[in-house]
Amino acid sequence: MKTALVTGGSRGIGRATALLLAQQGYQVAVNYHQREAAAREVVTLIHQRGGKAFSVQADIADEEQVVTMFRTLDRHGAVLHALVNNAGILFQQAGIEELSAERINRVFATNVTGAFLCCREAVKRMSLRHGGQGGAIVNVSSAAARSGAPHEYIDYAASKGAMDTLTKGLSLEVAAQGIRVNGVRPGFIYTDMHADGGEAGRVDRMAPTIPLQRGGEPEEIAQAILWLLSDAASYITGSIIDAAGGR
């Protein structure tokens, strides 16, 4: 059975992806930082549907915790085939004049350093030269990497731009080791993250500016992630799918 690790798997796009991967026959490791009950709910739901899953706690901004998380997977006897770097944070909407070094560094620690660390540990296990079976990595970026999110989250947008660069560079570095690396850039998706930024109704406000005239659902992004992880995308690496309703 193939095993997939989904970081930030307790809610939103991560939750939808974990459920979909389990439905497709993956054993899913559901990572969470603080939302233990929500992560366990995802695992329980997967079990109720006949799938296999377990939760694993780690703040991916902490290198030691990332290493421990992957060792937990090893102890479960899980041969890692797929990594979904979905965990990410943002803070209250703000312009550049209101940003502190502490805030910027916290965003980058999770969204960039955390993604790098998870990729590093995944490559160590997937790489053919380390005795692995190959695999696939999908980095969940954001359409903000293209727009820059002015007056709202330029720190978050910049962190996602860094994730896009990671996707391209890593794809070239590990292609010969049987590992594909791709990305998905969601647009305005109905998740709790907008409430974290102080505007729970942000998607509805922006919907008229989207060519498809609506916000997206987490399940729609999960479908793109699933495809990139699947054998149907076996000749695709270093690519990023824009899943933003045409915006």
- What confidence tens digit (pLDDT) does each residue in 27-36 have? 999 999 999 9
Tell me what percent of the residues of the chain surpass a pLDDT of 90: 90
Q: What is the mean pLDDT of residues 171-200?
A: 87
Residue 174 pLDDT class (50, 70, 90 cuts): very high
Residue 26 pLDDT class (50, 70, 90 cuts): very high
* pLDDT computed for residue 202 by the predictor: 83
What type of residue is 104? I
* pLDDT computed for residue 207 by the predictor: 86
Give, to the nearest 10 degrees, the angle between helix 154-174 and helix 114-126. Answer: 20
Over 70: is that where the pLDDT of 198 sits?
no
* pTM over cut 0.85: yes
Tell me what percent of the residues of the chain surpass a pLDDT of 70: 98
* pLDDT computed for residue 193 by the predictor: 67
Q: What is the mean pLDDT of residues 20-44?
A: 97
Q: What is the mean pLDDT of residues 160-171?
A: 98
Residue 194 pLDDT class (50, 70, 90 cuts): low
Annotated active-site positions, please?
Answer: 156
Please give the CATH topology (third level) of the domain spanning 3-243.
Rossmann fold (3.40.50)
Residue 76 pLDDT class (50, 70, 90 cuts): confident
Over 80: is that where the pLDDT of 218 sits?
yes
Over 70: is that where the pLDDT of 197 sits?
no
d(C-alpha 153, C-alpha 132), whole Å: 38
Beta strands in the chain (DSSP E): 3-6, 27-32, 52-57, 80-85, 135-140, 179-186, 240-243
Beta bridge partners of 216: 189
Give, to the nearest 10 degrees, the angle between helix 63-75 and helix 114-126. Answer: 30
* pLDDT computed for residue 1 by the predictor: 87
* pLDDT computed for residue 122 by the predictor: 98
